[in-house]
Each structure stands twice: as structure tokens, then as C-alpha cells.
């Protein structure tokens, strides 16, 4: 099943990552006067965040050559349309970014990114968010910084330079598209588990490991004839498994070869 968002599926470029150094924020304890429709926006955000009558879908977790990880959670309404995407990214240097995208119909109307940089001695925690108009232009952006998550939550964001966000990367991840296509890349065997590796190769390649058992003969066939199946496109279904020892992994629940001819 592919998850799409109308006109947004044609957006170009990855989401812009917001560096903490890009947000020149002063301490402020006073609310700032913003645009007239903010209450309507905020009310819709609260409805979506309540999760009422929404289904949740989880993407595969991907790793690139630099050991950076990405995963997406989608919230769907009764019509199976996305109303929210959460992109979680963790870098090998310990920096963590969480970006939420909110949709009304075909339109992105709000995006928020939180950054945790544990290596910074000062202002290692940040948040920046933007509201979007019907023409997909940013109408208001605000941001704040803090030395801890608690301090960040207590601060009031103030107006900052208008910042755009693109949900393209999040959509590619949840739909197994672009650099996040699920092509067979090999396998790993451990004492207790067998994994197939899916994803893409090269400098921008992204890979994900999925455990399988004897219920999935196609996976076993690919492992047995590794060279024959390398880079073949697959459609993968999976579930997240957490065992009694808290060891978590992705377990295969469906696999299909895609004919590209």
C-alpha cells in the first residue's frame, strides 16, 4: 500500500535540516503577537495529536553508509490519507532530529523540528516550527533554544526567519521509494536469526535489515542464490518485534518480487 498526499507527492528536494546555529533566538517569556488564524491551526494540530480515530503505520528503519538512521511514523484517517508524518533521524555523532509534518487534505499546514545535540555544551536543544498558507508559502516561523529538554519546554518560541520544510524524504521512506527502495542487497546470519538486507547501494544508499523464518521461502531462495537476486526490487511488509530481553528487530510478514520490465 502506498501512502500519498495529493499535490505534495511532487515536491522536490529533501527536507532542510535546521542547524541549531541557524536559529538566532533570544530568551523571551512573553507571548508574541502572530497571525490571525493561529488558533484555528493550533486547534487542528491538537486534534491530530490526540490520535483519535487515526491509524498508525511504521516505516522500515534505514541506515546509511555513515551509520545515520532514519525512520518514519504515519498517522492515517478513515480514508487512509496521511494527516501527520514524524521523521526521526539520529546521526552517528549523537545528534537527534525529530520533524513532524501536519496535513489538511492535500496541504501541508504546519511543520515542527526538534534538535537534540548532546555534544553542545550550550543550547544543545532546539525547536523551530513553521505555519503554511494555502499556497504552500510559509506565513510564520518561530524558534527557541535551551540547555536541556526541560528548559526548552519552558521557553516561549519567538519569531524567526521564515523556514520551509519538505516532507519528500519522509514520504519516500514510508513508501519505500527513491533512495529508500527495497532492493535485495544481501543477507546476515547470526546464531539465532537470519536477516535479508534491503535498500539501495552507492554513496547515498540506504539499507534495512529484516529477520525472516521458514514461512518465507522467497527470502530463503534469495539468500541461497545471492548473486542472482542482488538489486532485485521487492515489496516488503514487516512488523516490529520486541522480545522478553528487550531485543527489538524488524520481522518479515510479506515479501514480493517486483517485475520492472
Please, which pLDDT band fits residue 261 given cuts at 50, 70 and 90? Answer: confident
Tens digit of each residue's pLDDT (9 = 90 or more) over 24-58: 334 433 445 478 889 999 999 999 999 889 999 99
Same domain, 248 and 131: no
Question: What is the SS3 assignment for 250?
Answer: strand
Give domain status of residue 1, yes or no.
no
Under 8 Å between Cβ of 226 and 186: yes
Alpha helices in the chain (DSSP H): 38-50, 149-154, 168-174, 217-224, 226-229
pLDDT given at position 37: 87
Q: Which residues contact 63 (CB under 8 A, 6 or more apart)?
A: 69, 206, 207, 208
Same domain, 186 and 162: no
Same domain, 22 and 148: yes
CA distance between the termini of the chain: 21
Nearest CA-CA partner of 201 in 232, 179, 219: 179
Tens digit of each residue's pLDDT (9 = 90 or more) over 168-197: 999 999 999 999 999 999 999 998 999 999
Same domain, 185 and 167: no
Tens digit of each residue's pLDDT (9 = 90 or more) over 108-119: 999 999 999 988
Same domain, 71 and 34: yes
Same domain, 235 and 151: no
pLDDT given at position 31: 43
Tens digit of each residue's pLDDT (9 = 90 or more) over 65-107: 999 999 999 999 999 999 999 999 999 988 999 999 999 988 9
Question: 190 lies in which domain range?
Answer: 181-257
Question: Domain boundary residue among 111, 136, 171?
Answer: 171
DSSP assignment of 69-113: EEEEEEEE-TTS-EEEEEEEEE-TTS-EEEEEEEEETTEEEEEEE
Distance CA 4, CA 120 (A): 37
Q: What's the number of domains the chain is made of?
A: 2
Please, which pLDDT band fits residue 260 given cuts at 50, 70 and 90? Answer: confident
Question: Domain boundary residue among 153, 171, 189?
Answer: 171
CB atoms within 10 A of CB 249: 15
Same domain, 46 and 151: yes
pLDDT at 213 over 90: yes
Please, which pLDDT band fits residue 12 given cuts at 50, 70 and 90? Answer: very low
Amino acid at each position: 500500500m502506498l501512502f500519498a498526499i495529493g499535490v505534495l507527492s511532487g515536491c522536490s528536494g529533501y527536507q532542510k535540516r535546521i542547524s541549531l546555529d541557524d536559529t538566532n533566538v533570544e530568551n523571551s517569556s512573553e507571548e508574541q503577537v502572530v497571525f490571525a488564524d493561529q488558533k484555528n491551526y493550533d486547534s487542528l494540530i491538537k486534534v491530530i495529536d490526540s490520535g483519535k480515530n487515526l491509524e498508525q503505520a511504521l516505516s522500515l528503519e534505514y541506515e546509511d553508509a555513515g551509520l545515520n538512521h532514519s525512520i518514519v511514523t504515519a498517522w492515517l484517517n478513515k480514508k487512509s490519507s496521511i494527516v501527520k508524518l514524524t521523521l526521526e533521524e539520529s546521526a552517528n555523532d549523537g545528534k537527534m532530529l525529530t520533524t513532524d509534518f501536519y496535513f489538511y487534505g492535500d496541504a501541508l499546514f504546519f511543520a515542527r523540528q526538534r534538535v537534540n545535540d548532546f555534544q553542545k555544551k550550550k543550547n544543545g536543544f532546539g525547536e523551530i516550527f513553521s505555519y503554511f498558507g494555502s499556497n504552500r508559502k510559509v506565513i510564520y516561523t518561530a524558534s527557541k533554544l535551551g540547555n536541556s529538554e526541560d528548559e526548552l519546554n519552558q521557553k516561549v518560541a519567538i519569531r524567526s526567519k521564515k523556514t520551509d520544510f519538505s516532507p519528500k524524504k519522509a514520504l519516500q521512506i514510508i513508501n519505500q521509494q527513491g533512495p529508500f527502495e527495497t532492493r535485495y542487497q544481501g543477507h546476515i546470519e547470526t546464531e539465532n536469526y537470519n536477516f535479508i538486507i534491503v535498500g539501495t547501494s552507492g554513496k547515498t544508499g540506504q539499507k534495512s535489515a529484516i529477520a525472516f523464518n521458514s514461512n518465507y521461502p522467497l527470502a530463503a531462495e534469495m539468500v541461497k542464490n545471492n548473486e542472482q537476486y542482488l538489486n532485485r526490487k521487492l515489496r516488503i511488509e514487516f512488523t516490529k518485534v520486541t522480545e522478553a530481553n528487550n531485543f527489538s528487530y524488524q520481522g518479515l510478514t510479506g515479501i514480493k518480487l517486483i517485475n520492472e520490465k
